[in-house]
Amino acid sequence: MKTVHNELKARMDKTIEALKYEFTTIRAGRANAQMLDKVRVDYYGTPTPVNQVGAISVPEPRTLMITPWDKSAMAEIEKAIRNSDLGLNPTNDGNVIRISVPALTEERRKELAKKAHKVSEEFKVRIRNERRDANDKFKKMEKEGEITADELKKAQDDVQKATDKYVKEIDVLLVAKEQDIMAV
């Protein structure tokens, strides 16, 4: 029984970490290198993450700089960033690609807040799926006589408490991200 609870907690912790990472890819008003994590460059016919074709740095709070390792990939990097849903316009000086991160409009802030809300809902579903899987394991254990009906009830109550705790943590992370997005 203990191992099922430990596995559940570990999987839910991983889900929270994945959500935190996902939130870093949703841009707020400042530049950060994770903004480009989902951008894929067509590098010799293979979709490759930007951070694998060049070094990304943040020289100023509203500027990203990409120094490609292969100068012949500059046009593809530029194209990939332009075509992404980030709303960024890169400039190429022949050696590096600079991306000025404009201040967000009110409308864009609301769009990003909606996106953050949608992402948080997807992660809540993942948490609930973990709850279902754990409860199924406990029901199977009871069916096979490994635990009693009372132990099953207690185990399910513990699983629900863990689920509530993690869903609440997602809500806290969402509020923080929304505040970050809406801050001018």
Assess whether 48 and 5 both reside in one domain: no
Assess whether 73 and 111 both reside in one domain: no
pTM, rounded to two decimals: 0.73
Counting the structural domains of the chain, the total is 2
| 126-152: pLDDT as tens digits | 999 999 999 999 999 999 999 999 999
Q: Which has the higher per-residue pLDDT, 24 or 52?
A: 52
**Structure-token pair, residue 92:** 């190429």
Domain boundary among 54, 81, 100: 100
Domain extent, residue 171, equals 1-27+105-183
Assess whether 142 and 175 both reside in one domain: yes
Question: Kindly report the CA angle at 163 between 172 and 142, in degrees rounded to 5?
Answer: 175
| 71-100: pLDDT as tens digits | 888 889 999 988 887 778 898 888 899 988
Domain boundary among 47, 66, 100: 100
Assess whether 129 and 170 both reside in one domain: yes
Assess whether 45 and 93 both reside in one domain: yes
**Structure-token pair, residue 97:** 């690609």
Average pLDDT over residues 120-131: 96
Assess whether 23 and 109 both reside in one domain: yes
Assess whether 74 and 135 both reside in one domain: no
Burial class (CB in 10 A: 0-12, 13-18, 19+), 9: middle
The three-class DSSP label of residue 102 is coil
Q: What are phi and psi of 65, to 5 degrees?
A: -130, 130
Amino acid at 68: P
Selection from 11, 14, 9, 78 nearest residue 43 by Cα? 78
CATH number of the domain that residue 85 is part of: 3.30.1360.40
Question: Within 10 A of 147 (CB to CB), how many other CB atoms are there?
Answer: 19
Assess whether 40 and 68 both reside in one domain: yes
Assess whether 41 and 92 both reside in one domain: yes
Could you give the CA distance from residue 126 to residue 123 in angstroms, rounded to a whole number? Answer: 5
